[in-house]
Amino acid sequence: MRSFCLRTFFVSAPLLILAIGSDIRTASAQTVHVDLSAGKAIAFDPDKAMGTSMDILGAKEFNAVFTEPVIKAGLSAGWGPITYRQNTELTYDAWHWNPNGTWSDAEHKSGYFTGSAEPKDSLRESYGYRLEHRGTTRSDSGQDEYSRMTDGDAATYWKSNPYLTSRFTGEADSAHPQWVVIDFAMPQEIDAIRIAWANPYATSYVVQYWSGKSSALERETDGLWVSFPQGEVSDGRGGDVVQRLAEQPVATRFLRILMTASSNSCDTHGSEDARNCVGYAIGEIGAGNFTSLGEFVDLVKHVPGQAQTMTQVSSVDPWHTEAGIVSSRIQTGFDLFFTSGYTNHLPALIPVAMFYTTPEDAAAEIAYIEKRGYPISGVEMSEEPDGAQMMPEDYAAFYLQWATALHKVDPKLKLGGPVFTGENEDIKVWPDAAGRTSWLGRFLDYLKAHGRMSDLAFVSFEHYPLDPCNINWSDLYREPQLWKGTLDAWREDGVPSDVPLYNTESNVSWSLTDPMQDVFAGLWLADSVGAFLTEAGPGAEYYQFFVNPDQLQKGCQSWGTFGSFVADEKLEIKGYTAEYFASQLLNLDWVKHGAGMHQLYPAAGDLEDEAHHKLITAYAVKRPDGAWSLLILNKDPSNAHPVSIAFEESGKETAAQFSGAVKMVTFGAAEYVWRWSGASSHADPDGPPKRSEMEWKKGQKVLLPKASITVLTGRVAGK
């Protein structure tokens, strides 16, 4: 039923706009205004600012993606640089970027692994390894991953990350309190908790409940953590403890154990490695209430799987073993990545893992890449800490330790993060003692307080703006405003004006959805790139999600793909997506890769519908050779619109205008229609864009077809 409703909208929405279409056409002259005022242009180089990404690959698809025909097809979309996505941190796994290396416990091939910095074998593949002391139930991994605190096994335990303790941060443990949250899914009556502590255990902690009606893990500012009347412990001694929290039960969905001091006693791996003897560890955890006879009733479900009562933790110890390899989830080895051709012979943006590895391993990775002579433009520090519910101060503590190690290898490295998950607003987190809730603001404050802002060369994030199960055509109008609101908020958080903003992974939504295949997606992509470069300012970089082919998969509503191509089970390309053609217009028509710095001038259309949606958006570029290129979107799904082009200064039209031959390329609803048919869905027609050339005349108007992207390229005279 939901699928029917969404697809019906895409058919019927144009009829709604048709009702106002005649009013739009007669209301006033329709003009694209290009602002030539001094100081308004933004300089950018497409070979740095407009790229794509490579993410994790399935074992079945891995080899096919690196065949010559597929690589050639991927490059044909025209994107310049590429960024390597570090997927294992999304699954709470340790990443062996190099299978050659050393274990801290070499005899048992376990502990903390450091990849070898010495080039030896060519690195074709890399893998993730399960963490033995995992404390979070759910992540991007499969059903076989789960928390060790509610698995019912007395021999397993969660342990926090040792690099957040005073031994490594140089700060008191209370500066980085670690926590466990229990999510009952619905409110329960709670007045007691059972904690079976492992080593090291907390000597000081407090048990709290969430006062808000919204999720404590999703709407962090819609409630407060309230300590139970008898929830505070200052002389904890470990063991298996059942503790009364209140005389009367409290109805709550979420509990939190906040730990601020450790016993620093050693875990099951012994005392030879100091990392085994710091932080906090819990074997099993329960919560509930007492019967009238004083018996503890545990409301937590203890099973080794996703059916367990869910827990979320602040951090996880990266201790693991060789047997924990997850061979089905393959990431590209760096040698294959850099030599395959996907980098376009341009410096690549690459990641280091932080949360589930060591600073030494990250330093070895960079040393390896530099010894191979592979060019890198920068290093992203970890992946999506906000998605893992990590506190900004904890991420910052990791960041500084890793930055120190990396800059010992290469002081000129450009480091950045935090690689937000794709929000459309300032990221919020539980308030600190001063009441501050901005994640990015608190991260920046930590760097400033430690005199380390110079270690932040860029701020990066992902952009997946729309809910996959709730998209309609009007969402297309919001993209420029979403970018402006988000980026303005992050500057207000304290990102200095000389620290560039990077969007390092982007698509319509974080999950497959019908509009991702529709011409909607092509218009969205063109608008998103133009709006981002406009709002982010100098030094901005935009990376589109994965250009390689993939099979159609079942999404929120129907079948689709994240990539630029529609492929069969052998990954042989059978068709193209709207985003592929939009990519070509952006990279092969609007800008000129390899030419150097371009100038992006403010441009805007003056056409609105009755709801004041901007139906026409525009982005004007002056290329290094002096040619001008205008990217113009008609987001009206029903009507074509003729427009004039006006080059202006301070709101007044100048004598400047296109002169001579002007090339025009258009892609839209006339060139591309997605046909929904389950696993056999396809586009028909499936491009190509329509190309023409005109001799520009004074007063020239250009007809923008409905639901279309148009690029005009030519010389401008009179300026």
Chain segment 331-366, per-residue pLDDT in tens: 999 999 999 999 999 999 999 999 999 999 999 999
Chain segment 280-311, per-residue pLDDT in tens: 999 999 999 999 899 999 999 999 999 999 99
- Whether 533 shows a pLDDT value over 90: the answer reads yes
Q: Long-range contacts: 111-114, Cβ < 8 Å, 24+?
A: 111/269, 111/273, 111/319, 111/320, 112/273, 112/275, 112/318, 112/319, 112/357, 112/358, 112/361, 113/320, 113/357, 113/361, 114/358, 114/360, 114/361, 114/364
Averaged pLDDT of the chain? 92
Which CATH architecture describes the domain 158-317?
Answer: Sandwich (2.60)
Confidence at 143, pLDDT banded by 50, 70, 90: low
- Report how far residue 53's alpha carbon sits from residue 543's, in angstroms, rounded to the nearest whole number: 6
Superfamily of domain 602-717: Golgi alpha-mannosidase II (2.60.40.1180)
Chain segment 578-629, per-residue pLDDT in tens: 999 999 999 999 999 999 999 999 999 999 998 999 999 999 999 999 999 9
Length of the chain: 719
Helix (H) or strand (E) holding 349: strand 348-352
Confidence at 142, pLDDT banded by 50, 70, 90: low
pLDDT (mean) for 113-130: 96
Residue 68 is encoded by which pair of tokens? 């010559």
Chain segment 539-573, per-residue pLDDT in tens: 999 999 877 788 888 888 778 888 889 888 888 89
- Report how far residue 284's alpha carbon sits from residue 5's, in angstroms, rounded to the nearest whole number: 45
**Among 398-407, 459-468, 510-519, where is mean pLDDT lowest?**
510-519
Chain segment 362-387, per-residue pLDDT in tens: 999 999 999 999 999 999 999 999 99
- Report how far residue 291's alpha carbon sits from residue 217's, in angstroms, rounded to the nearest whole number: 30
Spell out the domain ranges in the chain.
Answer: 41-128+322-599, 158-317, 602-717
pTM attached to this predicted model: 0.94
- Whether 647 shows a pLDDT value over 80: the answer reads yes
Chain segment 51-90, per-residue pLDDT in tens: 999 998 877 788 889 999 999 999 999 999 999 999 999 9
| Fold annotation for 41-128+322-599 | TIM Barrel (3.20.20)
What CA dihedral angle connects 39, 460, 624 and 80, to 10 degrees? Answer: -170
- Whether 515 shows a pLDDT value over 90: the answer reads no
Chain segment 169-200, per-residue pLDDT in tens: 999 999 999 999 999 999 999 999 999 999 99
pLDDT of the residue at 320: 98
pLDDT of the residue at 511: 87
Chain segment 8-39, per-residue pLDDT in tens: 333 323 322 322 333 334 334 699 999 999 99
